[in-house]
Amino acid sequence: MLTLYPQRGQLRMVLLRTLTLLLLVSCTFRVLAQEDIKPTFGVIDKASLQMKVCPGDSSADAMFLYDYGETTFGYEANRGIFIKTKIWARIKIFKESGLDQGNILLTYYEGAKTGAKEKLDDISGVVYNLDGNEIVTTKLDQSTIQTEKSAEGYLTRKFNLPNVKKGSVIEYSYTRFTPFLVSATPKAWPFQGSIPIQWSEYKVTIPSFIEYHITFGGYLPFYINESEVVDMKFGLKMLEGKSTSYRLVVKDAPAFVNEPFITTSDDYISKVSFEPSAYKIAGFIGEEFAGTWDQIDWKFRKAALFGEEINAPVFGKEIPEQLLDNAASPKDKMNVGYSYIQKTMKWDEGVALMPASDIKKAYQNRKGNSAAVNLLLINLLRKAGLDCDPVVLSTRSHGKVFKDFPTLENFNYVIARVMVDSVAYLLDATQKFARPGVLPEYALNGFGRVIPKVYQGHFIDIIPKDANSTLVMVDAEFLPEDGKLKGKYSASLGGYEALDWREDFASEPDKKYLEAFQKEFSEWSIKNLTVSNKTEKLDAPVSVKCEFETESESMSPGTYYFDPITAGKMKENPLKSSERIYPLDFTTLVATSFIGTFRLPEGYFIEEMPKAEVITLPGNSARFLYQAKQDGNVIQVTSKVSINKIKFLPEEYHDLKEFFDRVVTKHAQPLVIKKK
C-alpha cells in the first residue's frame, strides 16, 4: 500500500486533497471528468493551427496543448528491473520568441554497462503549419538527431524540429529506459512550467514489490484523479502481482511566474514526485528505506563527518583563555567562542550539511564549507562546557523541510544552537559580521531540527531576530533661481540592512562603496561621504552621511516641481501578476522610513500641500504613513512603510498589491513650488 503525503510547503486545501488520494489506493473514481482529451500523435486539428493567442494569457509566446507522460516498470535479463517512461509533447507557437520550443535537448545517463545506463528510444517529431486552408506536415529527419557528451557520465540527444515558425504546432515523443541501478525512482512530473499548459497528464503504474512516498506539490487542483488495480506482467514470476495504476490530469495550468517573495520555485510548482519507501519481493529479502526521525537523529550522531567530528579533538592551547575560565559566564564564553571562529575561519561559500573532510584539516587550513565552519564552532563551544547542539535545516533555495517524511535529504545546512539561562541562541559563524542570534537570510526557512548529544531530536521554529530596517533623513534647501536642491543626507541601516552592508563593504576599500553609492544616486553630486560603525558595534546600525547637490529638470519660470522622496522611493510595485495562487514569504519584517526637511527661500510658497495618507492592512500586517506639513518656510515630508508579518496567504494578495500601488502613487506625487 502506498503512503501519500502532501508536498512540503503547502498550506490549507492540501489536507483535503491528501485524504482524497489516500482513498485512491482502494477505490477508483474520477473528479470533474466532463471532458477528456486523448489525441493521436501525427494528427492535428485546424483549430489548433488557427489559434492566434493563448486563452487566458495573451502574453504567452507558446503553450503546451498536450503534455503527457506515462511510467511503467519492466524487467529484462540484461538490464534487470527498469523504469520505462513515455513522453509526448504538443506545443503551439504564438510568437517569434517561442520558436526555441522546437530546439530539443534530452539528457540521459551514459553508464559503463547495459544494466547501469539509461537509454532513449523511439524519438519522433512532427511540425504542422497551415498553408491557406491546407495542413502541411513536416516530419523530423532521424539523421539530424545528434548525440553529444554533456556533464561527466551523461549524454545529450539534441535535435531541431524542422520548419518551425510563428503559428506552428510542434510535437515530439520519446521513451526513456532507466535501470534500477541508475535510479529506482520515477522522475518528478511537473504539471506547470515556464509556458501555459492546456492539458498535462501523467500516468504511473506501480508494482506491488516497491512502495513509494508520493508527494503532490503546488496549488493547482486535479481535473482528473483516478486509479485502478491492475495485473502487471514482468516475465519473471517473483515480480508479478497486483499493481496500482494512477491517472492524474491538471487542466489549464498557467505559466509559473517566479515572482518576488518566495523561497524556491520548487516549493510552489504543481507536480507529483516520488521517494522510495520500501521494497519486498515475495520469498526473497526486503528493505525499508524510510525511517523515523529517531533513526535520522541517530544517523547524524554516528556520521563520520558529522556527529563524530563534533566530539573530535581539534583545538589546542591557541584558543582564547576565557573559553576555559570557570569564572567566565556562559554568555561571555559563547560570545568569545563565536567571535573566535568568525575571525579565524574563512568560509569558502560552499553550502553543505557535512564538511568535505575532517574539520581538524579545515581548522588547520583556516578555511572550509559552511558545515566545517559551524561544526568547528559546536566543537569549540562544547569544549568550553556549553550546552551546544547542531541544528540541521534546509536553506531557502533548497526548499521546505517535509516533516512528515523523515529523510536526510530534507536538509542541506547546519548551524549551532546554544542554551544560556534557558535562552536559545542560533549561531552561524560563516557570517563574520552577524551578532549572536542572527542567521543569514538564506537560512531563514521556517524551522530546523536540533540533534542533541543523547536525547531525542526535535524541530524548532527559526524566527528572524532582526528586520530589514532603513531610516533615511534629508535636510536640504531649495535654490530655485539655480534650479538646484542642496543639503545633507544621512541613513541608518539596521538589522539585515546593516548585515548586508557589512558583508558587501566592511572588508573592502572605501572606494568600492563610494562607487556603489554614486551609482544609486546618479543624479547627485556627492561630497564628504562617510560611514561610521562599520563593524565596531554589530548590534547597532551602520550610519552613512554625505553632502549632495542635484539639479531639477522639471522647472519653468517661477515654478519648481519637486520630488520630496529624494531617497528610498518605491518606484514600482514589486507584485506584477493580477492573480496569485501561492503564498508570499518576505523572509524578515521590513521597516523603511524617510524624513525630509526642506527650506524654501523668501518669496516662494507651496502651491498645494499633499494630503496625508495612512493605510493599514487587516491585523496591522502592513502599514503606510505619509504626511507633509509646513511651518513657515520649512516643509517636512515623512514616509513610513512597514511589513509587520513575514507570510501572507494568497487571499491577502490583492490587498497587498493595492497597498504597494498606493505607496508607489504617493511616492511619485510632486510638490509644486511657486514664486510669489
Helices (H), 232-369: 293-302, 307-310, 330-344, 359-365
Percent of the chain with pLDDT over 90: 73
Mean pLDDT over the full length of the chain = 89
For the record, the C-alpha cell of 512 comes out as 568600492
Alpha-carbon distance of 384 to 316, in angstroms, equals: 12
What are the tens digits of pLDDT across the range 232-276?
877 777 787 888 999 999 999 999 988 899 999 999 999 999 988
Q: What is the mean pLDDT of residues 437-448?
A: 96
Amino acid found at 655:
D
Contacts of 675 (CB under 8 A, 6+ apart): 480, 558, 559, 603, 604
Q: Looking at residue 483, what is its pLDDT?
A: 78
Pairing of β 590-599 and β 468-479? parallel
For the chain, how big is the Rg over CA atoms in Å? 31
**What span, in angstroms and rounded, lies between the C-alpha atoms of 401 and 406?**
9
Give the burial string for 309-341 (b: 16+ CB within 10 Å, else e).
bbeeebeeeebeebbeeeebebeebbbbbbbbb
DSSP per-residue letters across 534-574: SSS-TTS-EEEEEEEEEE-S-EETTEEEE-S--SS---S-S
What span, in angstroms and rounded, lies between the C-alpha atoms of 185 and 290? Answer: 14
| CA gap 108, 127 in Å, rounded | 24
For the record, the C-alpha cell of 493 comes out as: 541601516
Higher pLDDT, 210 or 166: 166
Cα 194-11-210 angle, rounded to 5 deg = 75
Q: Of 366-370, 486-490, 576-580, which gets the smallest average pLDDT?
A: 576-580
Res. 557 pLDDT band, cuts 50 70 90: low
Could you give the CA distance from residue 568 to residue 547 in angstroms, rounded to a whole number? Answer: 17
User: How far is Cα 354 from Cα 358, in angstroms, rounded to an integer?
Assistant: 9
End-to-end C-alpha distance for the chain, whole angstroms: 85
Domains in the chain, please, with CATH? 3-288 (2.60.40.3140), 293-462 (3.10.620.30), 468-675 (2.60.120.1130)
Q: What is the pLDDT of residue 363?
A: 95
User: What is the predicted pLDDT for the residue at 671?
Assistant: 87
Give tens-digit pLDDT for 42-71.
999 999 999 999 998 999 999 999 999 999
CB proximity list for 455: less than 8 A, separation 6 or greater: none
Three-state SS string over 3-33 comes to EEEECCCCCCCHHHHHHHHHHHCCCCCCCCC
pLDDT at 28: 35
- Structure-derived torsion over alpha carbons of residues 147, 152, 154, 155, reported in degrees to the nearest 10: 0
C-alpha to C-alpha distance for 518 and 626, rounded to whole angstroms: 27
The answer for residues whose C-beta is within 8 angstroms of residue 203's C-beta and 6 or more apart is: 69, 70, 71, 245, 246, 247, 248
CA 93 – CA 165 distance, rounded (Å): 7
C-alpha cell at 4: 501519500
3-class secondary-structure state, position 525: strand
Residue 15 confidence class, pLDDT cut points 50, 70, 90:
very low
Comparison of pLDDT for 606 and 645, the residue scoring more: 645
- Put simply, whether the predicted model's pTM sits higher than 0.75 gets the answer yes
Averaged pLDDT for residues 426-447: 96
pLDDT digits (tens, 9 = 90+) for 267-319: 999 999 998 888 776 655 556 665 789 999 999 999 999 999 998 999 988 88
pLDDT at 27 over 70: no
Strand stretches in 327-451, DSSP E:
346-347, 367-368, 387-393, 413-420, 423-427, 446-450
Banded pLDDT at 481 (limits 50, 70, 90): confident
State how far the Cα of 177 lies from the Cα of 115, in Å rounded to an integer: 11
Is the separation of the CB atoms in 8 and 402 below 8 Å?
A: yes
What are the tens digits of pLDDT across the range 354-364?
999 999 999 99
Is the pLDDT score of 221 beyond 90? yes
Does the pLDDT value for residue 33 go beyond 70? no
Which range of 73-82, 452-461, 556-565 scores highest in mean pLDDT? It is: 452-461
Is residue 8 predicted with pLDDT exceeding 50? no
- Asked whether the CA dihedral 505, 506, 512, 518 is positive or negative, the reply is positive
| Residue 40 pLDDT exceeds 80 | yes
Q: Dihedrals φ, ψ of 575, to 5°?
A: -95, 110
Three-class SS of residue 442? helix
Q: Distance between CA atoms of 117 and 64, rounded to whole angstroms? A: 30
